[in-house]
Amino acid sequence: RKEVEQDPGPFNVPEGATVAFNCTYSNSASQSFFWYRQDCRKEPKLLMSVYSSGNEDGRFTAQLNRASQYISLLIRDSKLSDSATYLCVVNLSGGYNKLIFGAGTRLAVHP
Amino acid sequence: ETGVTQTPRHLVMGMTNKKSLKCEQHLGHNAMYWYKQSAKKPLELMFVYNFKEQTENNSVPSRFSPECPNSSHLFLHLHTLQPEDSALYLCASSPLFGQLYEQYFGPGTRLTVT
């Protein structure tokens, strides 16, 4: 089983749509969780950290379910500029700064 | 954005060459990382340095040799590489305090081994 699993997509959605990405992780002792965004041929950029209580940043909402070992990202009112690959990232406990990246979910927003 | 810089941005080298990748961070972080990203594969952590000390070597072949002279600079020395080593090599840095250890990436060096 992969340590971090994501649906690779692609998700093709029209502008203004709401889209949700899911991610599962295998290590129940994982402590920190993130969503990164990576544009084509560019470096990953931190989108948001994921807190236990869930958190929101503008059109983006992240949720964490520790019991199910599941992380989600919701994007509301999609923009063309949201087109990118979204990476689910988990910080393993014990390796206190060892991030494990999922393979990413590709999002394509069309007019 | 110039928080983490990498040079060169592109590199083509033969299997018998020796080259080095350079990374510099201007964020005041104390941890630096090398990652490899091959086509259609997740980022693979290669090395971790905390306060200039290597704390992680993720079973990386010895033809990749990292060097961290101080908390702001990180090098990856390359020698006798194989074509399958062609990939995007990303450097990242993070703080070591606080819970989240958010990492910030440089733009990467796209390496082609011929």
Residue-wise pLDDT tens digits, A14-67:
999 999 999 999 988 888 899 999 999 899 999 999 988 889 999 999 999 999
- A4–B103 C-beta distance less than 8 A: no
Q: What is the DSSP string of B76-107?
A: EEEES--GGG-EEEEEEEE-SSSS----EE--
- According to DSSP, the β-strands at B109-113 and B10-13 are parallel
Select from A97, A98, A105, A106 the residue whose CB has the most chain B CBs within 10 Å, as the one to mutate to test that interface.
A97
The tens digit of pLDDT for each residue in B50-90 reads: 888 888 888 899 999 999 999 999 999 999 999 999 999 99
* List of chain B residues whose C-beta atoms are within 8 Å of the C-beta of residue A44: 43, 90, 105
- pLDDT value at residue B53: 84
pLDDT at A93 over 80: no
Alpha-carbon distance of A12 to A93, in angstroms, equals 35
**Which among B41, B94, B102 is the nearest to A103, CB-wise?**
B41
- pLDDT value at residue A52: 85
pLDDT at B97 over 80: no
Confirm or reject contact between B66 and chain A (CB < 8 A).
no
The DSSP secondary-structure symbol of B32 reads E
- pLDDT value at residue B51: 84
Asked which of B28-32, B33-37, B56-60, B98-102 is least confident by mean pLDDT, the reply is B98-102
Q: What's the whole-number average pLDDT of chain B?
A: 91
pLDDT at A89 over 90: yes
pLDDT band at B95 (very low <50, low <70, confident <90, very high): confident
- Residue B98, judged by CB atoms within 10 A of its CB (0-12, 13-18, 19+), counts as exposed
Stretch B85-98: mean pLDDT: 88
